[in-house]
Amino acid sequence: MNEKSRIYWQCRRGMLELDELLQGFLDHTYDGLDTHEQASFEKLLRCHDNLLLEYLMGRTVPEDSDTAHVVKKIRESAHVHT
Amino acid sequence: MERRHFDTLVIGSGGGGLRAALQLAQGEANVAVVSKVFPTRSHTVAAQGGMNAALANVVPDNWHWHMYDTVKGSDYLGDQDAIEYMCRAASHLVVELEHAGVPFSRLPNGKIYQRPFGGQSQDFGGDQAARTCAAADRTGHAILHTLYQQNIHAKTHFFDEYFAIDLIRDEEDFILGAVVLNIATGEPLLIEAKTTLLATGGVGQLFRTNTNARINTGDGMAMALRAGIPVQDMEFFQFHPTGIAGKGMLITEGVRGEGGYLVNKDGERFMERYAPHAKDLASRDVVSRAIAIEIREGRGCGPDADHVLLKLEHLGPEVIKKRLPGILDMARTFANVDPIKEPIPVFPTAHYTMGGIPTNRFGQVVMPLEHSAEEAIPGLYAVGECACVSVHGANRLGGNSLLDIVVFGRAAGNHIIEFLKENRYHRPMKDEWVERALSRLARWEQSGEGESVDVLRDELQRTMEHYCGVFRTEEVLAEGVEKVKALAKRLDAVRLRDQSKVFNTARIEALELENLVSLGLATVKSALARQESRGAHSRMDYPDRDDERWMKHSLYFEDGRVEYKPVRTKPMSVDTFPPKPRVY
Ligand SMILES: Cc1cc2nc3c(=O)[nH]c(=O)nc-3n(C[C@H](O)[C@H](O)[C@H](O)COP(=O)(O)OP(=O)(O)OC[C@H]3O[C@@H](n4cnc5c(N)ncnc54)[C@H](O)[C@@H]3O)c2cc1C
């Protein structure tokens, strides 16, 4: 529970767009990820806000394939849950 | 409880807090900065447009014209001494940021590029000026990261992911620091400081549809209220007409500039009725109000008739892809519509808090005490969106708030350095003052069945949007006051299911909700009291500005009182700009 709360707090960002996408993903999709994907998500959260926005809005594709995979999942999750 | 001692405690690490901390750390003060999220995740990071300064790099310009525009933009509620100070300091601060490493975009001749923004003029209301300096579309990000790095270098002490609960105020009204909560461990910490600076940002989360990050819950303003300090001009909240309905993200004016327009459920281009000439390009408040009226009168779209539509399909895919690429991503991601084929559902979105903790141009928090309406609370400062200095008055101009935070962040830093020279020792601390702050935490240890934080916050945001949004009348606001009071009562019945300590984010959200409720009441009560329309506060039943009765600042106190104090109309060195009708 508190491990997830810790990640939840890392999803609190400086931009509404990020809050919406990251918290939505955490609520709807995160629990269904495998541990490797969960680790990639946590790694993604360490990016600074502007880069995260670039990734999540599809303006830049991350070079690292694990990160790219989790970004794709977040974008898909946003479409299903909007 | 653990205690730490610092010369200065800065609460908030957005641009305002970090600029002040930097001034202090470079001035050899021992500074702590507390932030509830990692510093570079502060809301300043979201500012894309830029920062104003009359550098005159593109067209002729000077600080006095900038001052005129800001006074006029404020609808004559701005304090002219503070506005003069800010506009005069602007160019120097941009250059300073540039030297510190902010990569401002450039002109071919190497000078800093400047773009034109609404409300900017040359020669006191003449041709359009170009006054906004930007680091591409990431100005806030660049400023925040640069200031953070400089602070690390200057050895500012950071408490990341600590949540400030309450200020400590002694019997002589000195502020002695604050009780903060380590979010990771759930343990409180007392930070004793000779001076405390609030830089906690705005309170966009008061409204259901808003553009702000979720951290913007106005904590510093609510802390000030609980310490007996009023909040000023809370009725002035800037709304942007086109936010994504139900979500809040901003759809820029550029869309309407390119030929997009708004329609109601009958497909009518309703702005033609409200502003026959400017139509969809009328000023923000006019468009916002028109949307609210359409919806109130039953012409909203969607199953709940709760939004209108922004059409841009007619522009064709080429124009949209070329000129409005950002809007494509935004609409697809957050509204699930493809603007090439279908319109975007929109609703006015709360954007900027003009009101806040009353300060003077040195950043000192001021309030009516024995001798005057503006006596400084010793040891307490506030800057940025949580403060009301007041440079934005009833309406902020785009690009002026990044300027506000760096100008007054630095000014507060300088004043604190002087204060510290005369106040060299920590004042005695009494347990009972600390207990008061801790009791706020203890309240959340009550367990059992009760209401939920999420439900109450949602109701508060909907209530504020409906009763204190862009459509305001006596009747609507009076009902709003009763509704928010009822919510405040229900707050007592809220219980937390999770009583653990480590990373108990539910508890943090409960503390934020308390802050939101008290600021909701402040806002709706101040709005009910002000019987005129000025800047962002527009009353259908009092459609005109009334300088005779209302050219004054409101001060809302925790006990529900609303008092007033005069606007500072006398600038520092130039002549006063007397009130004129605000027409563009
Ligand atoms: C989408 C958007 C775009 C904008 N674009 C522009 C623009 O182009 N130009 C412009 O001039 N302005 C712009 N603004 C406005 C501007 O970004 C803000 O007014 C400004 O950044 C506020 O800075 P600040 O330092 O006062 O507070 P913030 O940057 O909001 O920082 C507040 C800090 O306080 C901390 N905090 C809050 N509560 C607590 C607590 N209880 N305990 C501990 N820490 C706490 C937070 O963690 C954070 O560090 C924009 C605003 C939005 C919403």
Q: What is the CATH number of the domain that holds B287?
A: 3.90.700.10
Whether residues B46 and A16 touch (CB distance < 8 A) is answered with yes
Listed range (A17-26, A36-45, B285-294, B342-351) with the worst mean pLDDT: B285-294
DSSP tag of B284: H
C-beta B218 within 6 A of ligand 1: no
How much is the pLDDT for B323?
Answer: 83
Strands B344-353 and B308-311: antiparallel
The pLDDT of residue B282: 83
Per-residue pLDDT tens for B360-391?
A: 999 999 999 989 999 999 999 999 999 999 99
Sheet holding B132-133, edge to edge: B51-52, B132-133, B114-115
- Using CA atoms, how far residue B390 sits from B106, B184, B228, B402, B552, in Å, is 31, 36, 20, 14, 12
Give me the sign of the Cα torsion angle B510, B514, B520, B523.
negative
3-state helix, strand, coil split of chain A in percent (to 5) is 75, 0, 25
Note whether residue B1 is domain-resident: no
Domain regions of chain A by residue span:
3-78
Considering only CB atoms, which chain B residues are within 8 Å of A18? 213
CA dihedral B296, B298, B304, B305 (to 10 degrees): -90
Under 8 Å between Cβ of B199 and B363: no
Arch. (CATH architecture) of A3-78: Orthogonal Bundle (1.10)
Dihedrals phi, psi of B340, to nearest 5 degrees:
-70, -30
Instruction: Tell me whether A65 touches chain B (CB under 8 Å).
Output: no
Assess whether the C-beta atom of B46 lies below 6 angstroms from ligand 1: yes
Residue B213 lies in a domain: no
**Does B307 fall in a domain?**
yes
Mean residue pLDDT of chain B comes to: 95
Domain limits for position B253? 238-352
Find the mean pLDDT for residues B126-149: 94
Q: For B332-341, what is the mean pLDDT? A: 93
What's the pLDDT tens digit per position in B426-484?
999 999 999 999 999 999 988 888 999 999 999 999 999 999 999 999 999 999 999 99
Number of domains chain B is built from: 1
Q: Give the closest residue (by CA) to ligand 1 atom 49.
A: B13
CB contact under 8 A, B503 and A78: no
Residue-level pLDDT at B348: 97
With cut-offs at 50, 70 and 90, classify the pLDDT of residue B582.
confident
Give the C-alpha separation, B361 to B355, whole Å: 15
Question: What's the full length of chain B, in residues?
Answer: 584
Q: Which residues of B are catalytic?
A: 284
Is beta strand B261-263 parallel, antiparallel or unpaired with respect to B308-311? antiparallel
Q: What is the arithmetic mean of pLDDT over B4-15? A: 98
Q: Is the pLDDT of residue B337 over 90?
A: yes
> pLDDT by residue (tens digit) across A21-36?
999 999 999 999 999 9
Of A2, A20, A50, the CB nearest to B138: A50
* Ligand 1 touching residue B380 (CB < 6 A): no
Residue B325 vs residue B521, higher pLDDT? B521
State the Cα–Cα distance between residues B100 and B570, nearest whole angstrom. 34
Establish if B312 belongs to a structural domain.
yes
Contacts of B330 in chain A (CB under 8 A): 17, 57
Q: Report CA-CA distances (Å) from B561 to A62, B22, B181.
A: 54, 37, 31
CB distance B17 to ligand 1 below 6 Å: yes
| SS3 of residue B93 by DSSP | helix
Contact call for residues B364 and B20 (beta carbons, < 8 A): no
**Residue B381 CA, distance from chain mean position:** 16
Encode chain A (82 residues) as per-residue pLDDT tens digits: 578 999 999 999 999 999 999 999 999 999 999 999 999 999 999 999 999 999 999 999 999 999 999 999 999 998 877 6
CA angle, corner A34, sides to A30 and A37, nearest 5? Answer: 70
Higher pLDDT, B513 or A82: B513
Name the CA radius of gyration of chain A, rounded. Answer: 11
Nearest to B467 by CA among B485, B455, B451, B491: B485
With contact defined as beta carbons under 8 Å apart, do B87 and B69 qualify?
Answer: no
Reference B514, options B218, B115, B275; nearest CA is: B218
By Cβ distance, the residue of A1, A9, A78 closest to B333 is: A78
Report the percentage of chain B scoring pLDDT > 70: 100
Is the residue at B108 inside a domain?
A: no
Q: What confidence category does residue B584 fall into, taking pLDDT thresholds of 50, 70 and 90?
A: low
Distance CA B32, CA B505 (A): 23
Residue A1: the pLDDT is: 52
Residue B462, pLDDT score: 97
CA B214 – ligand 1 centroid, Å: 11
- Number of helices followed by number of strands (H, E) in chain B: 16, 20
Q: Which amino acid is at B305?
A: A
Please compute the mean of the pLDDT values over residues B493-499 and round it to a whole number: 90
Q: Which residues pair with B175 in a beta bridge?
A: B169
In a domain, B339, yes or no: yes
